[in-house]
Amino acid sequence: MKAELFIAWRYLATKRKEKFISLISIISILGVAIGVAALIVVLAVMSGFDRDLRDKIVGNYSHITIAGYQGIDPAGYDQIREKLNGRPHVKGFSPYVQGQMLVREGERLFAVSVRGVDPVTEKNVTRLSRYMRQGDIDNLTDGTVIVGKELALYLGAGLNSTLNVYSPLGRQHSLKVVGIFNSGMYDYDMNLCFVDLKTGQEILGLGDRVSAVAVKLDNLYLAPKIKYLLASELGRDYALSTWSEANRNFFAALKLEKLTMFIILTLIVLVASFNIISTLIVMVVEKTKDIGILKAIGMPQSGIKKIFVCQGLLIGMLGTVLGALTGIVLCALLKKYQFIRLPQDIYYIDRLPVAIQVWPDIALIAMAAMVITLASTVYPAVKAAGLKPVEALRYE
């Protein structure tokens, strides 16, 4: 195999009259490199979107939600609390109420989501306290509200401003703004308000009931397992859902887009493989005499095949390594300098996120490039191995 690899390298890096062959070899390498680099950058951005959106969604909501079909009364909450206290992997839990209310702005009314929380336990479940840009979650008491940055800008509201809101029951409430948060997701920052649990129960007319209990785990990927165990213990009176189930369609769409982009951009590498085929065919024609001599001195057909397979794989390997390095460098630059900004109201986030994943993204891209390259060597290698020594040397 060493002899075949040596001959393949000499053919690829020829310094004699076959300069044209070296040129098309370089073009083939660059074709593979461009395809691999494009794949790495695009999949890194898609992975970044997936990671950032997952973090923001989980930051605003819980890993597991335990909801009651008719709400959860104090006795039911005590039962849930008993099941959660001391349970492995459960870091915290907090009751909350959720619904809609109307906010008055001049002569207009528009609907926003209102979430009534316990400020003390909410810190153990979501990242609301970290998202605060003005005010503090501890200031959330009866008759106060925390609003998102985008909603505050839209209403022209600041700290200590007063919001006039209307409950689903038609009652008017005046709420004092004691905090402004910025989660980084336009939809949440524009349409979500936080009040304390008692105020939320009054606005939504729930009495002493809560809508659900939010549960945070030490590992969000354990949510399905913990949910199954809790469901079997709590019975059928409660509906449990995980963070991934609550956003199933969203994450499924991201996964499908990532797969689609992988398939589409792999076509770039496939096109580059035709350059490799043409390079090897030209090489077979140029090296007909050499092939005849090698076969005449006893090299078997398998050895001839290995020479051209090795040559194609060298082109593919050089292109893959060059493309991988280029893609990783581009991703690192995008991640560090963030010179591509996004309209936040369309893409939910304000910058282009990048997540470089050696496994599975870069590893799968490299393997796909090498498989395509290997497939492109089959025909030229078989063609070269099929040459007869007498025919190859007849006119030499």
Where residue 202 sits, what CATH number does that domain have? 2.40.40
Question: What single letter denotes the amino acid at residue 277?
Answer: I
Q: Please write down the HEC assignment for all residues of the chain.
A: CHHHHHHHHHHHCCCCCCHHHHHHHHHHHHHHHHHHHHHHHHHHHHHHHHHHHHHHHHHHCCCEEEEEEEEECHHHHHHHHHHHCCCCCEEEEEEEEEEEEEEEECCEEEEEEEEEECHHHHCCCCCHHHHEEEECHHHCCCCEEEEEHHHHHHHCCCCCCEEEEECCCCCEEEEEEEEEECCCCHHHHHHEEEEEHHHHHHHHCCCCCEEEEEEEECCHHHHHHHHHHHHHHHCCCEEEEEHHHHCHHHHHHHHHHHHHHHHHHHHHHHHHHHHHHHHHHHHHHHCHHHHHHHHHCCCCHHHHHHHHHHHHHHHHHHHHHHHHHHHHHHHHHHHHHCCCECCHHHHCCCECCCCCCHHHHHHHHHHHHHHHHHHHCHHHHHHHHCCCHHHHHCCC
Query: 387 and 257 in one domain?
Result: yes
- Is 245 among the domain residues? no
Query: 102 and 191 in one domain?
Result: yes
Query: 356 and 285 in one domain?
Result: yes
- Is 80 among the domain residues? no
- pTM greater than the 0.85 cutoff: no
Q: Across the chain, which distance is largest between two alpha carbons, in Å?
A: 101
Mean pLDDT estimate for the chain: 84
Burial (0-12, 13-18, 19+ Cβ within 10 Å), 359: exposed
Give the pLDDT confidence score for residue 361 in this predicted structure.
83
Give the pLDDT confidence score for residue 211 in this predicted structure.
93
Closest CA to 162 of 171, 174, 153, 172: 174
184: left (phi over 0), alpha (psi -120 to 50) or beta: left
* Neighbouring C-beta atoms of residue 293, cutoff 10 Å: 15
Question: What single letter denotes the amino acid at residue 392?
Answer: A
Query: 141 and 28 in one domain?
Result: no
- Is 125 among the domain residues? yes
- Is 226 among the domain residues? no
Query: 44 and 173 in one domain?
Result: no
- Which tokens belong to 244? 């991934």
Give the pLDDT confidence score for residue 90 in this predicted structure.
92
Number of domains observed in the structure of the chain: 2
In terms of pLDDT, which residue wins out, 248 or 122?
122
- Is 133 among the domain residues? yes
Cα 13 off chain centre by: 40
Query: 342 and 292 in one domain?
Result: yes
* The last residue of a domain, from among 176, 208, 240: 208
In terms of pLDDT, which residue wins out, 228 or 255?
228
- Is 81 among the domain residues? no
Average of per-residue pLDDT across 368-372: 87
The CA distance from 322 to 40, in Å, is: 12
Give the pLDDT confidence score for residue 350 in this predicted structure.
66
Query: 329 and 199 in one domain?
Result: no
Average of per-residue pLDDT across 386-396: 62
Please, what is the angle between helix 19-60 and helix 301-337, to 10°? 40
- Is 67 among the domain residues? no
β-bridge partners, 164: 174
Report the percent of the chain where pLDDT is more than 70. 92
The boundaries of the domain holding residue 149 are: 96-208
- Is 44 among the domain residues? yes
> In 273-283, which positions are buried (b, 16+ CB within 10 angstroms) versus exposed (e)?
bebbbebbebb
Average of per-residue pLDDT across 276-303: 76
User: Between the CA of residue 66 and those of 118, 193, 236, 361, what are the distances in Å?
Assistant: 16, 21, 11, 35
Query: 383 and 301 in one domain?
Result: yes
Average of per-residue pLDDT across 178-201: 90
Query: 267 and 387 in one domain?
Result: yes
- Which tokens belong to 60? 């605003």
* The last residue of a domain, from among 148, 178, 208: 208
Query: 280 and 198 in one domain?
Result: no
Query: 256 and 386 in one domain?
Result: yes
In terms of pLDDT, which residue wins out, 225 or 302?
225
Report the percent of the chain where pLDDT is more than 90. 28
Query: 295 and 190 in one domain?
Result: no
Cα 361 off chain centre by: 11
* The last residue of a domain, from among 157, 184, 208: 208
